[in-house]
Structure 1
Amino acid sequence: MAIKATIYKATLQIADMDRNLYGEHALTVPLQPSETEERLMVRLLAYALNVPMDDLHGTLQLARGMADADEPDLWHKDLSDQLLHWIEVGQPDDRRLAKACGKARRVSLYCYSHSAAIWYAGIANKITRLRNLDIWQLPHTQSQALAAMAQRSMQLQVSIQDGHVYVSDGNASVEVLPQRLWQGGA
């Protein structure tokens, strides 16, 4: 019998001064049996960093990610079901990234573990043709601090200003400084 996902509920209150975006988003997030709370929290952070200004061109949604190899962790589809933005979390291989770049207008990847630099060195030469790909690295200590905030029911305040991300749950606060490793087209 397969182990089922553990359900987490998160309310994100987002104040993104860089994009002049403010809003509250209630999310139901499944934590897959093979997934860590660190990865779950990075998915929530990726959501906050990529939520669109409005829903006139579709919405950003949690996809099946680890539960379905053909889906990302998050995706933004327009109202005609066109895939605008594919968002991955972790350290996928270059073939998965190339496949994603062929399906979506834009692809973003957020890697976060202490081995991210080694992983990136291994794929850097293989992704040079992927012009619609952006890769961000979250410092390992910061992603672990986010993981410490994980609870089955969360109220998180996310403030973004000048590329700095501040996440607070009322008891603790974490500053996250995403570092760009690759920018497609650059």
Structure 2
Amino acid sequence: MAIKPTIYKFHISLSDLNRDYYDSLNLTIALHPSETLERMMARVMAYCIEAQEGLAFTKGLSEVEEPDIWVHTLDNQIALWIDAGEPSLERIKKATRLAQTVKVFSFNSKSDVWWEQSKNKVKQLSVSVLQLDWESIQSLVKHVQRTMNFSVTITGESAFIASETGECEVNWVTLQ
């Protein structure tokens, strides 16, 4: 019998001061059995940073042919493809063929090594790469509960997160 995903529910009050975008998000996220809390929260942060109408989580690790997050146009084309992690060059190339806009949110301890090995080839592609600070993501994970309310305020390349269990800040840098 297969192990089932763990379900998390987030109620997020989002204030993106960079884009003057304000929203109240109700997200239900399935944590795949092989996925870490850090990866799940990197997906949540990517969702908050890119929040817009039509943005949706996919089946994630359960469906390898799909990104982690996407937006479809009215004619069912992929307008935005978002991957969390350090995807292979082949996956990024595929994404640029299938989607109008491609973004990668790199987030873990091996992110610097991945970027150094990939940057020359990735720079030839039409893709945005953001690197979430690994220690910030680890700090955020300490506050995770199965059901939680929190607020996210984005300004510059930083998000301030406040929840019932505490506060933290997640920073990132734009690599490309």
TM-score by length of 2: 0.96
Instruction: Measure the CA separation in 2 of the matches of 1:12 and 1:82.
Output: 28
Q: Deviations over 1:65-118 (max 9, x none)?
A: 211111011001122211110000011111001111111111111111111000
Q: Is the 8 A contact 2:157 2:173 kept in 1?
A: no
Amino acid at match of 2:65: D
Q: Deviations over 1:105-144 (max 9, x none)?
A: 111111111110001111112212212x111111111010
Amino acid at match of 1:83: I
Which residue is 1:114 aligned to? 109
Instruction: Measure the CA separation in 1 of the matches of 2:157 and 2:30.
Output: 28
What is the percentage of aligned positions where both structures have the same residue?
32
Write the mapping of 1:65-80 to structure 2, written as runs, cut at 5 A.
65-80=60-75
Which residue is 2:121 aligned to? 126
Q: Is the 8 A contact 1:18 1:163 kept in 2?
A: no
Instruction: Measure the CA separation in 1 of the matches of 2:2 and 2:175.
Output: 37
Q: Is the 8 A contact 1:47 1:74 kept in 2?
A: yes
Which residue is 2:81 aligned to? 86
Q: Is the 8 A contact 1:159 1:165 kept in 2?
A: yes
Amino acid at match of 1:8: Y
CA RMSD of the aligned region, Å? 1.1
Deviating 4+ runs (over 3 angstroms): none
Amino acid at match of 1:150: V
Q: 1:100 aligns with which of 91, 95, 100?
A: 95
Q: 2:159 aligns with which of 141, 151, 165?
A: 165
- Where structure 1 has 5 or more consecutive residues not aligned to the other structure, the ranges are none
Instruction: Measure the CA separation in 2 of the matches of 1:4 and 1:34.
Output: 10
Instruction: Measure the CA separation in 2 of the matches of 1:16 and 1:170.
Output: 20
- Where structure 2 has 5 or more consecutive residues not aligned to the other structure, the ranges are none
Report the secondary structure of 2:83's partner residue: strand
Which residue is 1:180 aligned to? 174
TM-score by length of 1: 0.91
